Amino acid sequence: MAKVEHADGHRRIVETPTEARQAEPGPSILALLTISTIAAIFVLAIVWFLFFRT
């Protein structure tokens, strides 16, 4: 849980890196980016074969 610190008359919230990201690090983001990139390449290849092939 985030801590509130009072220093020099200012209020400051201190969080861990995980709390600041609001997520736990893991392979799910890498998997999402990989799958979406492959899907985009696949869709572009289909469009190219359908419309730009001579």
Which DSSP string do the residues of the chain spell out, in sequence order? --EEEEETTEEEEE--HHHHHTS---THHHHHHHHHHHHHHHHHHHHHHHHT--
Q: pTM here? A: 0.53
Q: How many domains does the chain have?
A: 1
Query: Are 13 and 4 spatial neighbours (Cβ–Cβ below 8 Å)?
Result: yes
Cβ count within 10 A of residue 43: 10
> Does 46 reside within a domain?
yes
> Does 15 reside within a domain?
no
Q: Distance (Å, rounded) from C-alpha 14 to C-alpha 4?
A: 6
> Does 5 reside within a domain?
no
> Does 53 reside within a domain?
yes
pLDDT digits (tens, 9 = 90+) for 5-48: 777 778 888 888 878 877 666 778 889 999 999 999 999 999 99
Structural domain boundaries enclosing 49: 25-54
> Does 47 reside within a domain?
yes
> Does 18 reside within a domain?
no
> Does 14 reside within a domain?
no
Q: Distance (Å, rounded) from C-alpha 30 to C-alpha 41?
A: 17
> Does 34 reside within a domain?
yes
